[in-house]
A and B are shown apart, each in its own frame.
Chain A
Amino acid sequence: QTKLLLFPLSSSCSASFHSSGETQIVSEQAIQREETMLQCIFLLSDSGEVMLEKQLTGNRVDRSICVWFWDQLLSHGDSFKQQPVIASPTHYLFQVVREGITFLACTQVEMPPLMAIEFLCRVADVLSDYLEGLNEDVIKDNFIIVYELLDEMMDNGHPLTTEPNILREMIAPPNIVSKMLSVVTGNSSNVSETLPGATSSCVPWRTTDIKYANNEVYVDLVEEMDAIINRDGILVKCEVFGEVQVNSHITGVPDLALSFVNPSVLDDVRFHPCVRYRPWESYQILSFVPPDGQFKLMSYRVRKLKSIPLYVKPQITSDGGSSRISVMVGIRNDPGKAIDSISVQFQLPSCVSSTDLTANHGVVNVLSNKTCIWSIDRIPKDRAPLLSGTLLLENGLDRLHVFPTFQVGFRVQGVALSGLQIDKLELKVIPNRLYKGFRALTRGGQYEVRS
């Protein structure tokens, strides 16, 4: 017969075997995170007024944080506005500014900051989609919809439904018809009575039963050209950031495959969730079930390009208290299609007190914040556009030591300057008739010429 001996465990060692940091594994008493993710979202107008607050968790955030935020913004100016993450005395703030509206989110705990920023961007996207643009008035006018959307998009500080298609079915966007209807009938419900089928579908971005008389799909290559030309006129960097935008109106659940003639020019890509990774990995084919309507299928980047469509030659000479400036613009490499919407924009140095600028073509505007915008639109055939004039410096300065950077904007329709070409678009399940349309457009992106 064995005698049992039971060893006691002292109460002090409450079953924690690890160093203090990991006591949580076993100890239920350990303090867990107080809150999850975002606590509150504020929408601020461009004058700093809090238009809306949506508390997301039990721990409420006082509005006074917005007062603090706005004070900081006023005292620090623009650099504060561009700061996406701010550590305030009580909360961490994330801000996204869209068309004058500041989306401000608060948290008190560790969370991926990009998640908050991306989410705010998504909110801004959805709202501007719903309200057809963003400004103070539309947000105030449709505050109920904004509330309902925010409530649906986030639950307990974690994103819940952010897919625009599902949201549209849950909460009807305001449109003229429903507005007029509500005036007439007095019934203004914009909340759907049923759960959108897409919530349970394996393609949550697509509404299930779509019917069109005419099946159409449009594919646009929209590119932005970035370039840096340094002081010596040398092209330092030239690349294209592009998007494949698709507008699809197809019956049923179509399965599309888009391929390029020269996918090898693509440096890197990012896809809409609908794109299947496998076919791209193996054959560089975009295989997807499209959402209904307009969406961004993919974004891409083409690097190390050598030719730019426009040249901008700035010259600044200065002595004796005034400086002469002349800027010439012309076509460098003809893209084959007309270049329009050409504009040159630059910030006058702060030491410039007044200017006298004229152009032989186009309109020159100097704004109160010393931004100068020269809108050229198209380059005339007979002469090269030239901006010239004098800059009067502040008293005591006889020369200019800092030089502005010129940002060039332009648009070329019908051409993708990256050289990317669409090969074909195939539809696996063929409906009666499918109209396919392809377009291309290149805009000036971060196109900078230094002087």
Chain B
Amino acid sequence: MFPQFGATADTLSKASTIMFRIGTDAHLYDDPEDVNIAPLLDSKFDSEKCEALKRLLALIAQGFDVSNFFPQVVKNVASHSLEVKKLVYLYLLHYAQKRPNEALLSINSFQKDLGDTNPLVRAWALRTMAGIRLHAIAPLVLVAVGKCARDPSVYVRKCAASALPKLHDLRLQEHSSTIEEIVGTLLTDNSPAVVGATAAAFSSVCPNNYSLIGKNYKRLCTILPDVEEWGQIVLIGILLRYVIARHGLVKQSMMFHLHSKEHSSSENDDSDADSKFGKEGIDPSKKYDSELASMIYRCYIEGPDDYLSRSSYSNKVFLTFSGAKFTSSKNNEDVKILLQCTSPLFWSNNSAVVLAAAGVHWIMAPKENIERIVKPLLFLLRSSRNSNYVVLCNIQVFAKAMPYLFASHFENFFILSTDSYQTKALKLEILCTISTDSSIASILKEFQDYIRDPDRRFAADTVAAIGLCALQLPKMASTCLEGLLALTRQDSFTSDARASEEEAGVLVQAIMSIKMIVKQDPPSHEKVIVQLVRNLDSIKVPAARAIIIWMLGEYSKVGEIIPKMLITVLKYIAWSFTSESSETKLQTLNTVAKILSNSKGGDLETLTKIGCYVLELAECDMNYVVRGRGCFFRKLLSSHLGSKKLEDEVVASSQNEGLLNVLAEHMFHEQATQQSPVPVNYRVYLPGSLSQIVLHAAPGYEPLPKPCTILDDADAEAEVSEQDGSDSFTGSLDEESGSYNGSDNSVASGGNTDNGKTGSSSEDENIQDPLIQISDENHLRPAGSADLEELMSRRDLETWLDDQPSLPNSSIPEQSKVPRSARISIKDIGKRVIPKTYELLDPANGNGMKVDYTFSSEVSTISPHVITIQASFENCSSETISNIVLKHEDFTTKPSDSSESSSQDDVPALIPMEEITSLEPGQATRETIHVRFHHHLLPLKLVIYFNGKSHPVKLRPDIGYFVKPLPMDVDAFKDKESHLPGMFECTRSCIFKGHVDYLNKEKGNHTFAKDKFLVVCESIALTMLSNANIFLVSVDMPIAAKHDDASGLCLRFSSEILSNSAPCLITITAEGICSEPLNVVVKVNCEETVFGLNLLNRIVNSLS
């Protein structure tokens, strides 16, 4: 305790300790078991109970298992003393999961405490009750949390918020909606303290429920500076994610800049996958590594596999913002408010808050304003020593992407002797990255000091850094080389035979750096090579010698001096060969071989002699690698070594020899690259994340949401033309009629199938199975036929007939041009679509009430935004259920961010349903309900009231029913398609196996083998029509030599988006063998790219 007293310190400190320890719990910690604990627990005095509990906690602290006292401790939960309670809680929480049954005994007491007048008691009871984490009591806890969420005490509400994740951890599927509901309530709380705790709950309970944030976005932003610091950290992250998902990236920001560069390049050449990295010139005033930067961007947003989808997303962003740039857009308002409210946080005392705020500005702020994050970040380096390393890791990424941000602040990264090695290494790397012509002089001066640092590992790193600086600023190359050369001549490396391993490391690094710089421009650095070679005799470190010898071989023809001294040097290295280490021997061999294979003229004889000598030595070497290399080179260079008597052979095999030379060159070159490790760290995670520090995705790490993934109605509204709500189709009949309306003008089809079956158009109605029909143009189809049929032009038919024998079976017909396909009409498919139902409420949960729903293809008459859903109510209980009604969860509150467009506000989320007055047991009824999904993709929370009770349910939207069939013919389709190219088009592929089962079944009975093609077409079409409300335009069949090759099968569907009538075209192309799973490529052309993409994903999901 008082070390300055030296020898007497021990005795003194003991004495003082005894003095100080009087009255503390020291004796309890030192000897927790010196009395019998059990009777104390049963004592009637609180003080004795306390002592017993403290002893138990001491044992826990020391790592003993005292769970056997559990029953006795639990009894004390009812104590009135707050201290006893607190101690019991501490014990309970430690062991509750181990002893669940006994823990249940405490529940009554908690229930009682929850009603206590003291808020502290309520809060503690709630915290402990939730902390016990037992499934059995989860419903009770949920009720308690719900109650406490409305408690008058802020502290209790805060505890209620933090109890939610505990409940969520129990994975209570049936309660998750209630939990989310409470999160929603608490987010609207007036107290910033509660909002902070709720933010934490939100991020662990429902991090993707953006609608909750959307409703309160502005309020959350303004309250942000008042939220307590821990809540701020989480809330900042949530708001950032929301804004990106809602509005996408900011056009002026760093992220967008990087992406738009990439994007424009991908537009230039069609294969955007190949041109990921922008090829345009880099803005000269603000240079940065565009490749690295765009990679950072990609890493933030998504993994590389999603690249294709991303390009379409970003197009969307581009559109939105280019439009918004000129209008006072409210989209930008959200971003502005976020940036505004996070900027005072740069002054926060909490380094995590500062870094989180900096992250937001890094991603969202306009490029010219990003500079704001620099000073706070640099201040963090000094003001919170413990965060130092983490902050540096983040600065490193920022500096890599935009070196000029930090360029003028280079002194902040100067290294202190007290820094840890990791910090030093990071600072060095940052210094290299941000060095500019104006700062390099000071930086190099610093580096010179670092080379003399006692930590030699760090000195070696510094030497490497000098090399990197020289690469970055070619002007400095010669200065750097001079310094490095001087370093290699230092007597510490040369004269001193005992140079330690670490010194050797510095030397090797110096020579590697020299090599790296020389490589940039060998001819101008000839003298450097010469000097190095001169020093060869004094440099003893094998690795260093190896590199110099390698350089000799590599640059043997560079300049004028080297070729002249070559023979002398070679003689020297041949002479010293036996005393070298094997690493150097190998390089010597390489060099000799290289020079030999390159040399011509007068010196050849001497060279050959040296070569033979070295190779002979090598072949007798102790090390088998060296021996092997020797033998190999002898073979490889036999022509050079074999001298004159083999002259004829040489001529004969000159070509072969040439090849060998090329091979040799290639090999040597490869070795060179292996030796210079490129330490590029290509793993980038979000700023401020744990993953960025440990450099792997920690569990639970999530990249930023994809830009604009929440499709808000306001967005859609702004971009589409007015739509007449009453103009609507009503169901399948309409769809079918639509289909032949569309084909009325067209030429009907009829003809024979691939495998010889024939069927005329007039027979179509009688044939139950769909047919492939190759029609003649002259056969006009009778109007009113109930088929979904298509046409095929005569030209197509003829081409097919002509070409059939020589068709390449691998070709996929391009929809518009390749004529080698027949059109198929699949009949009556609509009738074969079997309705499938979703469960809204199951009888077990709903007191015997069963509610199912199916999406209807019917188009609502109320509003184009409304989707029609068929709900069936069935009473499975034995009693009558009365007054059933389905309502929106909170039909009074409307999302705050959707106030601008009035037409939207007219439409509630759920058009009120007529009340079903009563249902007898077993009775069922159907109702049509009209629903508007605020966000296309999020489940809608509804409540079913009956018998006076409410039951929360979730209605899941299906994007496939956000469209309605748009009848058209193939030509119209192709025309429309051609108007929606490039960015309006998105493609994904998947494997379709829906037909395989059917085909396998068919295999069994050979009586009537259906055409495989038909089965394939049919199953694809059926799957499509069962999953989306679309119109089948055409089925193009491939006509291939092999009749079970389905490659080229092409189905077209058309639809239009309900809300804005934008056409949405779907093309499906298949590839593969009919009887096997097919490779299917789905393409969606749609003006609404985000919608198109979502639809695409939905289709792919349903197909695969």
Please report which residues of chain A, range 1-18, place their CB below 8 angstroms from some CB of chain B when the two chains form the complex.
2-13, 15-18
B133 touches A58 (CB 8 A): yes
Interface membership of B387, Cβ < 8 A: yes
Interface membership of A208, Cβ < 8 A: no
B416 touches A448 (CB 8 A): yes
Q: Please, which residue of chain A has its CB at the minimum distance from the CB of B236?
A: A112
- Cα separation A55 to B127 with both chains bound (whole Å): 14
Instruction: Looking at the assembled complex, report how far the CB atom of A72 sits from the nearest CB atom of chain B, in whole angstroms.
Output: 14
Interface membership of B233, Cβ < 8 A: yes
Which of A156-164, A212-220, A247-255, A323-331 lies on the face that meets chain B?
A156-164
- Cα separation A108 to B690 with both chains bound (whole Å): 10
A450 touches B492 (CB 8 A): no
Interface membership of B349, Cβ < 8 A: yes
Please report which residues of chain B, range 918-954, place their CB below 8 angstroms from some CB of chain A when the two chains form the complex.
937-939
A10 and B1023 contact, Cβ closer than 8 Å, known pairs A117-B386, A182-B23, A226-B382: yes
B302 touches A399 (CB 8 A): no
- Cα separation A443 to B708 with both chains bound (whole Å): 53
- Cα separation A281 to B459 with both chains bound (whole Å): 44
Across-interface contacts of B349 in A (CB, < 8 A):
270-273, 296, 299
Across-interface contacts of A19 in B (CB, < 8 A):
306, 309, 1097
- Cα separation A12 to B449 with both chains bound (whole Å): 66
A191 touches B83 (CB 8 A): yes
Please report which residues of chain A, range 388-417, place their CB below 8 angstroms from some CB of chain B when the two chains form the complex.
396-397, 399, 401-405, 407
> Of A22, A192, A272, A405, which one neighbours B709 at CB under 8 angstroms?
A22
B1102 touches A5 (CB 8 A): no
> Of A57, A79, A108, which one neighbours B422 at CB under 8 angstroms?
A79
Interface membership of A165, Cβ < 8 A: no
Q: Please, which residue of chain A has its CB at the minimum distance from the CB of B16?
A: A137
A17 and B700 contact, Cβ closer than 8 Å, known pairs A83-B420, A113-B693, A143-B57: no
- Cα separation A92 to B701 with both chains bound (whole Å): 13
- Cα separation A170 to B119 with both chains bound (whole Å): 12
Interface membership of B454, Cβ < 8 A: yes
- Cα separation A3 to B786 with both chains bound (whole Å): 14
Across-interface contacts of B386 in A (CB, < 8 A):
84, 96, 117-118, 120-121
A26 touches B25 (CB 8 A): no
- Cα separation A188 to B48 with both chains bound (whole Å): 11
Across-interface contacts of B155 in A (CB, < 8 A):
195, 199-200
B454 touches A347 (CB 8 A): yes
Interface membership of B706, Cβ < 8 A: yes
Interface membership of A25, Cβ < 8 A: yes
Interface membership of A187, Cβ < 8 A: yes
Please report which residues of chain B, range 730-755, place their CB below 8 angstroms from some CB of chain A when the two chains form the complex.
730-735
Interface membership of A342, Cβ < 8 A: no
Interface membership of B498, Cβ < 8 A: yes
Q: Please, which residue of chain A has its CB at the minimum distance from the CB of B203?
A: A36
A147 touches B24 (CB 8 A): no
Across-interface contacts of A84 in B (CB, < 8 A):
386-390
Please report which residues of chain B, range 115-152, place their CB below 8 angstroms from some CB of chain A when the two chains form the complex.
118-120, 123, 127, 131, 133
Across-interface contacts of B127 in A (CB, < 8 A):
155
Interface membership of A237, Cβ < 8 A: yes
Interface membership of B47, Cβ < 8 A: yes
Please indicate which of the listed interface residues B230, B383, B384 has the most CB atoms of chain A within 10 Å of its own CB.
Answer: B230
A140 touches B47 (CB 8 A): no
Interface membership of B854, Cβ < 8 A: yes
A191 touches B82 (CB 8 A): yes
- Cα separation A29 to B854 with both chains bound (whole Å): 21
Instruction: Looking at the assembled complex, report how far the CB atom of B380 sits from the nearest CB atom of chain A, in whole angstroms.
Output: 9
B858 touches A4 (CB 8 A): yes
Q: Please, which residue of chain A has its CB at the minimum distance from the CB of B131?
A: A156
A404 and B937 contact, Cβ closer than 8 Å, known pairs A79-B421, A179-B24: no
B733 touches A10 (CB 8 A): no
* Chain B proximity mask over A233-258: 1 for CB below 8 Å, otherwise 0: 00011000100000000000000000
Across-interface contacts of A121 in B (CB, < 8 A):
384, 386
B23 touches A200 (CB 8 A): no
- Cα separation A271 to B1101 with both chains bound (whole Å): 52
Across-interface contacts of B118 in A (CB, < 8 A):
193-195
A228 touches B414 (CB 8 A): yes
Across-interface contacts of B168 in A (CB, < 8 A):
32
Across-interface contacts of A119 in B (CB, < 8 A):
230
B204 touches A26 (CB 8 A): no
A142 and B24 contact, Cβ closer than 8 Å, known pairs A18-B709, A26-B939: yes
Across-interface contacts of B169 in A (CB, < 8 A):
34-36, 57-58
* Chain A proximity mask over B17-32: 1 for CB below 8 Å, otherwise 0: 1001111111011100
> Of B23, B306, B352, B700, which one neighbours A110 at CB under 8 angstroms?
B700
Interface membership of B1009, Cβ < 8 A: no
Interface membership of B12, Cβ < 8 A: no
- Cα separation A15 to B939 with both chains bound (whole Å): 10
Interface membership of B68, Cβ < 8 A: no
B154 touches A199 (CB 8 A): yes
A52 touches B21 (CB 8 A): no
Interface membership of B959, Cβ < 8 A: yes
Instruction: Looking at the assembled complex, report how far the CB atom of A406 sits from the nearest CB atom of chain B, in whole angstroms.
Output: 9
Which of B581-589, B831-839, B878-886 lies on the face that meets chain A?
B831-839
Instruction: Looking at the assembled complex, report how far the CB atom of B85 sits from the nearest CB atom of chain A, in whole angstroms.
Output: 8
- Cα separation A9 to B384 with both chains bound (whole Å): 56
Which of B260-268, B398-406, B440-448 lies on the face that meets chain A?
B440-448
A112 and B937 contact, Cβ closer than 8 Å, known pairs A7-B1028, A141-B25, A397-B496: no
B731 touches A28 (CB 8 A): no
- Cα separation A272 to B383 with both chains bound (whole Å): 13
A55 and B414 contact, Cβ closer than 8 Å, known pairs A6-B870, A112-B352, A141-B20: no
A5 touches B348 (CB 8 A): no
Provide 6 A-B residue pairs closer than 8 Å at the C-beta atoms, listed in order of the A residue: A16-B1097, A84-B390, A115-B352, A121-B386, A170-B120, A277-B344
Q: Which residues of A approach B to under 8 Å, CB–CB? A: 2-13, 15-19, 21-22, 24-26, 28-29, 32-37, 50-53, 55, 57-58, 60, 63, 78-79, 82-85, 87, 92, 96, 107-115, 117-121, 135, 137, 140-145, 147-148, 151, 155-156, 158-160, 162-163, 170, 174, 178-183, 186-195, 199-200, 204, 226, 228, 230-231, 236-237, 241, 267-273, 275, 277, 280-281, 296, 299, 301, 347, 349-350, 396-397, 399, 401-405, 407, 446, 448, 450
State the 6 A-B residue pairs at the shortest beta-carbon distance, nearest first: A8-B836, A179-B23, A6-B835, A5-B732, A82-B420, A114-B352
Knowing that A191-B82, A195-B153 are A-B contacts, what are 13 other residue pairs whose CB atoms are under 8 Å apart, sorted by A's residue number?
A5-B830, A8-B833, A16-B1101, A34-B699, A51-B61, A92-B698, A112-B355, A144-B25, A158-B230, A188-B50, A194-B118, A231-B448, A347-B417
